[in-house]
Amino acid sequence: MAGELFATSGAILAFDVGGTRMKAGIIRGDTIVERQTITLNVDDRASDALARIVQLSRSLFARYDISALGLSIRGIVDSQSGIILDVNGELAELIDVPLGERLSHELGRPVFVENDARMYALGEFTHGAGRGYQNMLCLTLGTGIGSGVVIGGRVLRGPRSVLGILGGHITIQADGPRCSCGNIGCLEALVGTAGLTRRIEERLVEDPSSLLHATAHTPHHLFAAAAQHDMLALSIVDEFARNLGSGIVSLIHAYDPEVVVLGGGMMHSHQLFLPTVQAYVNTHAWTIPRGRVALVPAQLEDTAALFGIAESISHPDRYL
């Protein structure tokens, strides 16, 4: 879909589709004038989420002058055609489906589709923690590790739509655990939700008195135990921080950002690990970046990708 198609004057309706929730926002200029969150059932098919997008869009059309829609979604996305080229998990049924064309036909509006981590990064760059910089790396820490990169004020996309978004799949441990992507020792396999859960369960035998024996083995419970000075939890959090720092150092060497913005659910506990990650990066980033790259929490949380979608539609020249 050509950029000029999105040179619109009305409001923009943006959707951010996650695994369990879908966020929607009406954006006019720099303001979200209405926002809704829709819970997605784990048994829902991807087609059910699309049906809910169509249903909600039609109801909002009755109240707002909406010129265009945007969809932020997981996977390798060809934004020119609005097609998901590759994705793991429950969205795999949407591979090669012309999402943009299908939704545009249903709703009578131009539709833009892009990778969610890239949209999160763009939103933070234009409206959040990345403002004032020209070169930024953004990571989202959660079930997966999403990434987006801005160089010279423009978001990396590349000719095959993968540039900048595979930061979670750099190898930081050559003999490490297998990742969901099939690789070994990816950053995501070590610091994503599944990797942290696995590590908690592996290390529980070390401390029979740990609070973690009486809780679910999730990052949330890990950080809660660490906040209560549980020694095993603190040790696992320190290991998590060093693994995350290792990945960030490699990404700094690859992209040379001025700032690294960290978002996602785990950042609600950033006070427990961000100082350690920053210290690791300051020590291990080589040559000119050493000690000069700040790690900062994201500011927009659930609205970042919505702002990224609106920015992409309003300024289609934002990409490299």
Per-residue pLDDT tens for 85-115? 999 877 888 899 999 999 999 999 999 999 9
> In which residue are the tokens 């545009």 written?
104
Band of the pLDDT at 256, cuts 50, 70, 90?
A: very high
Say yes or no: 230 and 81 in one domain. no
Bridging pattern class, strands 31-39 and 21-28? antiparallel
As a whole number of angstroms, the distance between CA 241 and CA 281 comes to: 10
- Tell me the residue range of the domain where 54 lies: 3-121+303-314
Mean per-residue pLDDT over the chain, rounded? 93
Q: What is the mean pLDDT of residues 22-49?
A: 87
Say yes or no: 109 and 173 in one domain. no
pLDDT value of position 89: 79
Say yes or no: 174 and 280 in one domain. yes
111 close to 104: Cβ distance less than 8 angstroms: yes
Say if pTM beats, i.e. exceeds, 0.85: yes
Q: With H, G, I as helix, E, B as strand and everything else as coil, classify residue 176.
A: coil
pLDDT at 8 > cutoff 90? no
Instruction: Establish if 263 belongs to a structural domain.
Output: yes
As a whole number of angstroms, the distance between CA 282 and CA 92 comes to: 39
Say yes or no: 204 and 263 in one domain. yes
Q: What is the mean pLDDT of residues 210-234?
A: 98
Say yes or no: 82 and 151 in one domain. no
Band of the pLDDT at 3, cuts 50, 70, 90?
A: very low
Closest C-alpha among 60, 8, 90 to residue 316: 8
As a whole number of angstroms, the distance between CA 14 and CA 306 comes to: 5
User: What is the Cα Rg of the chain in Å?
Assistant: 20
pLDDT value of position 43: 66
Say yes or no: 217 and 156 in one domain. yes
Say yes or no: 164 and 284 in one domain. yes
Say yes or no: 55 and 148 in one domain. no
Say yes or no: 293 and 307 in one domain. no
pLDDT value of position 42: 66
Say yes or no: 181 and 158 in one domain. yes
pLDDT value of position 44: 67
pLDDT value of position 290: 81
Say yes or no: 214 and 252 in one domain. yes
pLDDT at 7 > cutoff 80? no
Q: What is the mean pLDDT of residues 246-254?
A: 97
Please tell me the least confidently modeled range out of 131-140, 286-295, 307-316.
Answer: 286-295
How many distinct structural domains can be found in the chain? Answer: 2
